[in-house]
Structure 1
């Protein structure tokens, strides 16, 4: 069942669902899901190209949050939990699923999905939550950054063939439930649920920011969404980085 209050549009082809979100945001009366069956200019984090074979999932939720920007940014955790819930539903099992800080979902240790948040129109404007899922096929390892988690697909890992439309139905319902909880109860229960599904917590990881590379034990995610890393020198809270295992 489609969640009440959320719009939906399914497009045969578009440059990017986040770009389409920016174009239509000002005309929307409420939150809207945009699903593209084909993208010609998909993007991931830091402007990287997102490889998107036919049959995979590419969608953006565009909404207008009421909170302060630092609270709005926590919706990356809301979206990650919703993705976990939806993938669990469509595959019939949570086995092998884990959440990788800041914006990825893993399946059997490989990256199966990614999330990209973009602010549209600055503070008080709209938010675009772009989501890509390797439903049918994963990019070749040579197409991803060196040292990154290898990509995997839902089909290869579970044997389940899921259509983008079916994935959207599950994801939209899961997101609506998680977002309602976030708005009502705040970040604390979202943080707790995310941590219980976190990949490599308590293990040594490497975080690369724009200025430095830090290696240490992944202790937790703090109350503002920062990655907390215990290095040989100090305990560091990291707001933004790429994480490598």
Structure 2
């Protein structure tokens, strides 16, 4: 097991409504970045308020931190977290094959959804005061197909796809170390090295994908992610930059 990164706290709870909710409750008293992990969540949530299934033995954790900068800069930490998840998966399985990153915030394994990331922040005067990075990883069990929306990727677990049996605590240890490394890189060198590393692990780069919002759908070739973290598609009407959407392929 890796050593816990210096300067990061750890709170482990047996049960909580949501680690994101717990982060909001302790934000005013937190002295530095802290990981919050729960063995059971009773009201877990994903993007756009969707329910997040969290079977026993999976990882449910949130990193609470006080970043420097505006909301746009804070949002780029979804890419930092994705890289850390990728590295943690490689560390516990001893293999990199099969893992990829799906814009904006999923980790895939053998084409199925293994993990998701959700960012929530508070702030004032265009400055983020607190950032919570919620992370869920299907370590031992994948939710059933009835727990995901139509057209979504099939959920998979680390255990079923690789045979690796790892506890949430041990996985979080690897994740925390990897995150601290990339956070330091991001703080010193900015987004560009993070962007390049993310693109080297990106799913369906150079292929035709669909980006959907509640109002529209854009289909095009996944060309890149730009300096602002936006998805760039090459479409029939030219290059289109998309700041937020759900991606399907």
TM-score, normalised on structure 2?
0.97
Say yes or no: does 1:21 pair with 2:23.
yes
* Counterpart residue number, 1:113: 115
> Which position in structure 2 is the counterpart of 1:92?
94
Tell me the residue number matched to 1:205. Answer: 209
User: Which position in structure 2 is the counterpart of 1:71?
Assistant: 73
The question of whether the paired residues in 1 share the 8 Å contact of 2:121 and 2:128 is answered with no
2:131 maps to what in 1?
Answer: 127
Contact 2:74 2:128 in 1 (8 A): no
User: In the alignment, which of 7, 21, 39 is matched to residue 5 of structure 1?
Assistant: 7
Q: Secondary structure at the match of 1:189?
A: helix
Counterpart check, 1:232 vs 2:236 = yes
Structure 2 runs not aligned, ≥5 long: none
- Displacement of 1:145 in angstroms is 1.1
Structure 1 residue aligned with 2:44 = 42
Aligned equivalents of 1:99 and 1:46: distance in 2?
A: 20
Show the counterpart of 1:33.
Answer: 35
Is the 2:13–2:38 contact (alpha carbons within 8 Å) kept by the matching residues of 1? yes
Shift of 1:124: 3.0
Deviations 1:156-188 (A, max 9, x none): 000011100001100000000000000000000
CA distance in 2, matches of 1:124, 1:110: 33
* 8 A Cα contact 2:222 2:231, kept in partner: yes
- 1:113-160 deviation line (CA, Å, top 9, x unaligned): 000000134533100000000001101112111111111000000001
Contact 2:118–2:134 (CA under 8 A) maintained in structure 1: yes
What is the alpha-carbon distance in structure 1 between the residues aligned to residue 196 and residue 128 of structure 2?
27
Q: Let me know the Cα RMSD of the aligned residues.
A: 0.8
Residue 61 of structure 1 is aligned with which of 35, 58, 63? 63
Q: Any stretches of 5+ residues in structure 1 without a counterpart?
A: none
Decide whether the 8 Å contact of 1:16 with 1:40 is kept in 2.
Answer: yes
After the TM superposition, which segments of 4 or more aligned residues of structure 1 sit over 2 Å from their partners? 120-124
Contact 1:57 1:132 in 2 (8 A): yes
> TM-score, with normalisation over the residues of structure 1?
0.99
| CA distance in 2: counterparts of 1:234 and 1:33, whole angstroms | 42
Deviations 1:54-112 (A, max 9, x none): 00100000000012221111000000000000111011111100000000000010000
Q: Secondary structure at the match of 1:214?
A: strand
Residues matched between the structures, number: 245
Determine the structure 2 residue equivalent to 1:218.
Answer: 222
